[in-house]
């Protein structure tokens, strides 16, 4: 680092060591060293307001008076977006707002940087000059470092301001979010991530700091390996996820940048925080959800590295009260495992999304998980009571006693119900009159295989092979795929497993994968279409499946088949591989998913070619009704329990029966009690679903008087009128007969 910035950092360090409030001195120093006419600090105030708290160059009367909303003006925009803005002509920027009391109309150029600490925006620091110019990379870097120091001061000041929030801290607050894993939890909250702020920001001896960093990296990597081994006994490990995580840990790119930051005068801790912050800002701008979701992994690693740098050895993690609800802004997979080991009962992740590694793990571990709930981390205090109702997409902080009692009662009832379900585990799955219905699992990660034994499911009706790849972020090579599939067959121990070939594309994208710019990716170049156009990829997977079978029975199905010709082409690739692999499977069944409506008009021909069909209602419904399956605005508008869909199933059932082809349903519909009841009523006796649904559906079936229901269903379907849904009459019968729907 050149001399001027180094001198600035050294002076700032001296300033911060003094007891007096350093902000006015800081702005003076920064303005002088950066040769800027203005340096100002804005601090975040309650109500999402930014207040000018110190300035060199603007009118001093404005201090304590000038306030901007987050999102208002350039400074507000920087706080809202979390990115710096570097403008040669700030006044002509569309976001510029002029506050006369500041006298800033004479300054053309502006560089504004967010002041952040532990992922929270505490304010903004800005420098301005009269002459129009863009600030160079070095000036930006220096101001970012200054922002880290300012964050320390603002955090200290903020702590004393906190007293004003005393009254608000007892009020009940509802935070809406979105369900990432189902379930309910009630307990005290624990806040994640407050420990990651370095105490020492600057260091004199870069060589010693770099040595500390190297030692800490080694320590961190050892710790990760130990965590993985301790938490996840062999065979059960979601290796797909943790391998991806381990790779990020070993990636030298970001560590090299930390070393550079240390050379510039930062301590190892501040270097880690700085680089993690930069990467976070960059990743935030990605539109690719996969890359955005990896942000949490990186932060997880940065926190781990900071803990490893803590030469006091760090404190052993304290146990948390049983069932505590973890609140995190972001969370990485290793962090989730740490917290899980400490006994949490649920998780709220403000920036959580369905594909995030920690979320995939939370789902697999059965932890209720909510995403969103914006603002909860800024409101909650450690130990506050909360109700996490992921099923209703909300978390309630500091609930009143009566509401708490309602939820505690609901949890008790649910636990009693679960205990009742558990007794059903080893009972055969039959309706009250003795009709057998096979219930199977939808699975995507090896971690979920343990659910076979826990639920007593009769096999795996859908193994989504792409999930592991999405979790890893790459298409893994043949031998590694074979190892995963072989573990699945080992765990199934002779029970049937329907492996679905890769269903990538659409919204399931791997980073760097070949992509087309399509208007409708769900209907685009995805799934089997990619497999047929890139047969090397598909053949590699088919070979891996055959090798994994190693002489055992093997069932393979293809997703998104739209024509019989496509099915034939895919099956031909499988057969070509089967002719080369030894030992041959003792039985090879080949089937298709039914997700594309066009197949419904090719059934006689299709049924002559396939051994089985599995209906994917999620995609079938979306294509049948031209309704995006992920659009909340369309949820509930079209119904599986509608005359056209029931006609499709009745017809399919009859034709499959006649052709002696096994028919199952593996879409979402199979896991909903009323839909499952109706599918069974129409004659479908194989349903595949997430593990959580198996025992509740078994319990429903055990109480189902199938002949009586069939008669009612036939009558309801015959009733004239153009009802868009038959849900109501079906539900009325179910309620009358004691089913809770
Ligand atoms: C379906 O479409 O119903 C299905 C089971 O496949 P996925 O949800 O993986 O698209
Ligand atoms: Mg599908």
Is residue 3 pLDDT above 80, yes or no?
no
Q: Note whether 362 and 341 are within 8 A (CB).
A: no
Q: Is 340 a catalytic residue?
A: no
Instruction: Map residue 422 onto helix, strand or coil.
Output: helix
Is residue 358 pLDDT above 90, yes or no?
no
Token pair belonging to 649: 């199933």
Closest CA to 329 of 437, 177, 472, 468: 177
The rounded distance, in Å, linking the Cα atoms of 549 and 543 is 10
Q: Note whether 37 and 129 are within 8 A (CB).
A: yes
Token pair belonging to 477: 């090579």
For residue 40, what are the β-bridge partners?
Answer: 55, 126
Residue of 653, 666, 737, 739 with catalytic role: 666
Residue 562's pLDDT band (cuts 50, 70, 90): very high
> Which pLDDT tens digit goes with each residue over 101-142?
999 889 999 999 999 876 678 899 999 999 999 999 888 888
Indicate the range of 454-458, 540-544, 718-722 predicted with least confidence.
718-722
Residue of 39, 192, 340, 357 with catalytic role: 357
The rounded distance, in Å, linking the Cα atoms of 379 and 685 is 50
Q: Note whether 471 and 445 are within 8 A (CB).
A: yes
Residue reference for tokens 């060293």: 33
pLDDT above 70: percentage of residues in the chain: 89
Instruction: Map residue 85 onto helix, strand or coil.
Output: strand
Indicate the range of 457-466, 475-484, 530-539 predicted with least confidence.
475-484
> Which pLDDT tens digit goes with each residue over 456-465?
999 999 999 9
The rounded distance, in Å, linking the Cα atoms of 343 and 324 is 7
* Range with top average pLDDT, 74-78, 283-287, 354-358, 546-550: 546-550
CA distances, 247 to each of 225, 250, 253, 546, 707 (Å): 12, 5, 11, 29, 56
Token pair belonging to 518: 């399509």
- Cα 115 to its chain centre, rounded Å, is 27
Residue 164's pLDDT band (cuts 50, 70, 90): very low
> Ligand 1: which atom is nearest the Cα of residue 667?
3
Q: What's the mean per-residue pLDDT of the chain?
A: 87
Q: Is 370 in the pocket of ligand 1 (CB under 6 A)?
A: no
For residue 178, what are the β-bridge partners?
Answer: 371
Indicate the range of 144-148, 175-179, 495-499, 630-634 predicted with least confidence.
630-634
State the distance from the centre of ligand 1 to the C-alpha of 323, rounded, in angstroms.
33
Counting ligand 1 atoms within 8 A of each CB, the residue from 440, 528, 666 with the most, and so the one to mutate, is: 666
pLDDT at 235 (0 to 100): 45
Is residue 162 pLDDT above 60, yes or no?
no
Helix, strand, coil share (%) of the chain residues, nearest 5: 50, 15, 35
Q: Is 508 in the pocket of ligand 1 (CB under 6 A)?
A: no
Closest CA to 690 of 370, 464, 432: 464
Q: Whose CA is nearest to atom 6 of ligand 1?
A: 616
**Apex 417 CA angle, 414 and 421, nearest 5:** 135
pLDDT at 416 (0 to 100): 86
* Range with top average pLDDT, 95-99, 251-255, 270-274, 617-621: 617-621
pLDDT at 19 (0 to 100): 60
pLDDT at 552 (0 to 100): 98
Do the bridges between strand 184-191 and strand 438-443 make them parallel or antiparallel, or are there none, so unpaired?
Answer: unpaired
Residue 481's pLDDT band (cuts 50, 70, 90): very high
**Apex 165 CA angle, 190 and 77, nearest 5:** 85
Residue 167's pLDDT band (cuts 50, 70, 90): very low
> Which pLDDT tens digit goes with each residue over 209-259?
999 999 998 888 888 777 766 655 444 445 667 766 776 777 777 788 889
Q: Is 666 a catalytic residue?
A: yes
State the distance from the centre of ligand 2 to the C-alpha of 22, rounded, in angstroms.
59
pLDDT at 81 (0 to 100): 81
Write down all domains in the chain, each with its CATH number in brackets.
3-157 (3.30.450.40), 173-411 (3.50.30.10), 423-736 (3.20.20.60)
* Range with top average pLDDT, 206-210, 471-475, 561-565: 561-565
CA atoms within 13 A on the CB side of 570: 31
Question: Cβ atoms within 10 A of the Cβ of 635, count?
Answer: 11
pLDDT at 644 (0 to 100): 96
pLDDT at 159 (0 to 100): 46
Q: Whose CA is nearest to atom 9 of ligand 1?
A: 464
Residue reference for tokens 């290796």: 239
The rounded distance, in Å, linking the Cα atoms of 95 and 93 is 5
The rounded distance, in Å, linking the Cα atoms of 372 and 376 is 9
In sequence order, the 6+-apart residues with CB closer than 8 A to the CB of 360 are 238, 241, 333, 445, 467, 471
Is residue 712 pLDDT above 90, yes or no?
yes
More confident residue, 593 or 220: 593
State the distance from the centre of ligand 1 to the C-alpha of 569, rounded, in angstroms.
21
């Amino acid at each position: 680092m050149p001399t001027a910035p180094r001198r600035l950092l050294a002076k700032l360090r001296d300033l911060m060591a003094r007891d007096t409030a350093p902000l006015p001195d800081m702005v003076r120093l920064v303005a002088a060293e950066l040769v800027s006419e203005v340096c100002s600090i804005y601090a975040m105030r309650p109500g999402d307001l930014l207040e000018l708290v110190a300035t060199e160059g603007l009118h001093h009367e404005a201090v304590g008076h000038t306030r901007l909303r987050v999102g208002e003006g350039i400074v507000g925009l920087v706080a809202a977006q979390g990115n710096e803005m570097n403008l040669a002509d700030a006044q002509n920027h569309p976001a510029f707002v002029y506050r006369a009391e500041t006298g800033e109309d004479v300054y053309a150029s502006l560089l504004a940087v967010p002041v952040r600490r532990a992922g929270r925006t505490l304010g903004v620091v800005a420098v301005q000059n009269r002459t129009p110019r863009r600030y160079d990379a070095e000036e930006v870097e220096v101001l970012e470092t200054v922002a880290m120091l300012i964050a320390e001061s603002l955090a200290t000041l903020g702590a004393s301001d906190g007293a004003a929030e005393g009254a608000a801290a007892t009020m009940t607050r509802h935070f809406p979010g979105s369900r990432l894993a189902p379930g309910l939890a009630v307990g005290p909250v624990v806040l994640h991530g407050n420990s990651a702020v370095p105490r020492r920001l600057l260091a004199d001896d870069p060589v010693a700091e770099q040595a500390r960093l190297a030692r800490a990296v080694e320590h961190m990597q050892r710790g990760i390996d130990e965590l993985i081994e301790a938490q996840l006994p062999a065979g059960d490990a979601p290796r797909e996820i943790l391998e991806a995580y381990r790779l990020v840990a070993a990636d030298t790119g970001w560590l090299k940048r930390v070393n550079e930051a240390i050379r510039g005068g930062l301590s190892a801790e501040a270097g880690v925080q700085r680089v993690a912050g930069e990467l976070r800002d960059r990743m935030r701008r990605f539109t690719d959800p996969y890359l955005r979701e990896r942000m949490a992994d990186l932060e997880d690693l940065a926190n781990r590295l900071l803990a490893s740098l803590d030469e006091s050895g760090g404190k052993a993690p304290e146990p948390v009260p049983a069932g505590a609800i973890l609140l995190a802004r972001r969370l990485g997979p290793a962090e989730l495992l740490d917290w899980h080991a400490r006994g949490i009962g649920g998780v709220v992740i403000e920036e959580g999304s369905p594909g995030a590694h920690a979320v995939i793990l939370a789902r697999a571990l059965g932890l209720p998980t909510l995403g969103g709930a914006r603002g909860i981390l800024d409101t909650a205090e450690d130990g506050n009571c909360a109700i996490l109702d992921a099923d209703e997409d909300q978390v309630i902080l500091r609930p009143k006693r009566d509401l708490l009692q309602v939820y505690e009662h609901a949890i008790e009832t649910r636990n009693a119900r679960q205990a009742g379900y558990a007794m059903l585990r080893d009972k055969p799955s039959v309706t009250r009159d003795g009709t057998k219905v096979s219930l199977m699992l939808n699975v995507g990660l090896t971690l979920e295989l343990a659910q076979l034994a826990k639920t007593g499911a009769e096999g795996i009706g859908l193994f989504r092979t792409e999930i592991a790849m999405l979790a890893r972020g790459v298409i893994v090579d043949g031998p590694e795929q074979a190892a995963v599939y072989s573990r699945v067959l080992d765990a199934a121990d002779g029970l049937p497993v329907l492996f679905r070939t890769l269903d990538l594309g659409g919204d399931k994208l791997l980073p760097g994968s070949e992509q087309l710019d399509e208007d409708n990716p769900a209907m685009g170049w995805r799934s089997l279409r990619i497999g047929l156009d890139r047969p090397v990829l598909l053949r590699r997977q088919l070979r891996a499946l055959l090798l994994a079978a190693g002489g055992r029975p093997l069932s393979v199905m293809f997703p998104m088949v739209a024509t019989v010709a496509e099915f034939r082409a895919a099956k031909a690739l499988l057969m070509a591989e089967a002719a080369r692999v030894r030992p041959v499977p003792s039985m090879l069944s080949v089937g298709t998913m039914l997700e594309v409506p066009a197949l419904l008009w090719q059934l006689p021909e299709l049924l002559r070619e396939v051994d089985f069909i599995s209906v994917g209602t999620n995609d079938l419904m979306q294509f049948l009704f031209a309704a995006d399956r992920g659009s909340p605005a369309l949820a509930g508008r079209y119904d599986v329990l509608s005359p056209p869909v029931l006609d499709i199933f009745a017809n399919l059932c009859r034709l499959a029966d006649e052709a002696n082809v096994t028919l199952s349903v593996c879409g979402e519909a199979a896991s909903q009690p009323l839909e499952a009841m109706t599918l069974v009523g129409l004659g479908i006796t194989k349903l595949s679903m997430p593990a959580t649904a198996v025992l509740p559906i078994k319990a429903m079936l055990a109480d189902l008087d199938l002949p009586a229901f069939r008669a009612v269903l036939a009558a309801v379907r015959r009733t004239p009128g153009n009802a868009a849904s038959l849900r109501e009459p079906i539900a009325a019968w179910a309620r009358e007969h004691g089913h809770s729907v």
